[in-house]
Amino acid sequence: MKLVVIGGDAAGMSAASQARKRLGPDQLEIVAFERGHFTSYSACGIPYWIGGAVTERAKLIARTPEVHREAGIDVRLRHEVVTIDPDRRLVIARDLAGGGEVRENFDHLMYATGATPVIPEWAGVTASGVFGVQTLDDGAAIQEWLASDPAPRTAVVIGGGYIGVEMAEALLKRGLDVTLLEKSAQPMGKTVDPDVGELVAEAIRGQGIKVVTEAHVDSLETEGGRVRAVVTPGGSLPADIVVMGLGVRPNTALATAAGLPVGPTGGLRTDRRMRVEGTDGIWAAGDCVESRHLITGEPVHVPLGTHANKQGRVAGINLAGGYATFPGVIGTAVTKVCELEVARTGLTEKEAARAGFAYVTARVESTSRAGYYPGASKMMIKLIAERRTGTLLGAQIVGKAEAAKRIDALAVAVWNRMTVEEMTALDLSYAPPFAPVWDPVLIAARKATDAVHKAM
């Protein structure tokens, strides 16, 4: 039996490794095609490598091609798959280094091509010095550009989502003069509610990053094929480097050409075992698929490494004859912006409204530790609860050290459809170095309960 994997990062190689764990090389041959130079790396770590917190590229690589090969996985780097023929169970790949073509038949196909950054068709957008941040090759290219002579001194980051904000900070740490452009009223506008985004904007500005909101880009100015500036209605912003942080789209070109089904989000449709719908033995996972949102029931595209790993593992177990499922997501995410920790789970107000929920909100300020204990810092929790039932729909946290990971307790509460009233009784951990005697989560639950009662 043969498994062919397309894409050598988290989703694809998790699947390959899980399958290998269950079936030895005599039972399952595994060939993995990867377009780039690396396997099994942490794309999420790239901003920290650019910023210098992570000192070596090698640290971002969980498993090198050599390690995979030792496990009996035939990794072919710099091979781009150009055709999938589901009927003939055939994959055709181009050797980007050698130029030849490779054909591999498969019994199982693992589709894990990830996502590609959204790049608008602006004049100049293909100039050198304009980067997406999606693959480790992208990261390496940025590092090389930053190390070039003369060294870039000005940067414009376009898009204020996670990647944009993290890259803005990274470039600031590298000593560049950084401007962040965001088309909505606040950075992270898709991620958190405006009142929370306001706190994020403040923190970013406080670090010395220029933040331009409600920004529009007309084009990029270039000179000799290199980017020089970002042209906006308000003037030209000098930019020796431009980073694109406008989000990503599922990379499904190959799949759609092969007739595989794509959902309304643009991601491949799979069942909960990660089998591509309507196929036999074709599996998909990671940034190229869509998931089910467990609160709204709607399909969503949430390109995060944690889902890619889980889905890849599930696909690998199933294709090797086991049983595992990926039921869906609830929109949990976390990031660190300078010293500020920002986290969310479930639905934001906008998302709740779009899904048709009537809701109440509660926002509380508290501290990460007992107020009297050294190192206590302020944190804010916002809860969104369904109006009639009091069911927790979503939560957002902003704070400093030790604040954001509290989102996990709230994520488990959302997952289990707890009401905010039941949450007021939750037996959460307390000791002065860890929380006030009323953990901020409990205070927020109390306030949300009051809001639910008032709205009745």
Residues 56-85 vs a second copy: string with x where CB under 8 A?
---xx-------------------------
Closer CB to a second copy, 248 or 418, in the complex:
418
Backbone angles phi, psi at 127, to 5 degrees: -65, 160
Kindly state whether residue 149 participates in binding a second copy, applying the rule CB under 8 A.
Answer: no
Q: Please identify which residue in 7, 36, 45, 245 interacts with a second copy, judged by CB under 8 A.
A: 45
Return the range that interacts with a second copy (CB under 8 A); candidates 153-161, 216-224, 250-258, 438-446: 438-446
In our burial notation (b when 16+ CB lie closer than 10 A, e otherwise), range 238-264 reads: ebbbbbbbbbbbbbbebbeebebebbe
Q: Which of residues 393-412 bind a second copy (CB under 8 A)?
A: 402, 404-409, 411-412
Distance CA 396, CA 188 (A): 12
Closer CB to a second copy, 279 or 449, in the complex:
449
Kindly state whether residue 28 participates in binding a second copy, applying the rule CB under 8 A.
Answer: no
Kindly state whether residue 309 participates in binding a second copy, applying the rule CB under 8 A.
Answer: yes
| β partners of residue 229 | 221, 238
The nearest distance, CB 53 to a second copy, in angstroms, is 5
Kindly state whether residue 315 participates in binding a second copy, applying the rule CB under 8 A.
Answer: no
Residue from 44, 67, 370, 443 carrying the catalytic annotation: 44
The nearest distance, CB 40 to a second copy, in angstroms, is 10
Kindly state whether residue 333 participates in binding a second copy, applying the rule CB under 8 A.
Answer: yes
Q: Which of residues 344-383 bind a second copy (CB under 8 A)?
A: 345, 370-374
Q: Is 44 a catalytic residue?
A: yes
Kindly state whether residue 332 participates in binding a second copy, applying the rule CB under 8 A.
Answer: yes
# residues near a second copy by CB under 8 A: 67
The nearest distance, CB 395 to a second copy, in angstroms, is 11
Return the range that interacts with a second copy (CB under 8 A); candidates 81-89, 143-151, 302-310, 349-357: 302-310
Point out the residues that are catalytic: 44
Question: Where does this chain bind a second copy (CB under 8 A)?
Answer: 10, 42, 44-45, 48, 53-54, 59-60, 162, 294, 304-307, 309-310, 324-327, 329-336, 341, 343, 345, 370-374, 402, 404-409, 411-413, 415-416, 418, 424-435, 437-439, 441-442
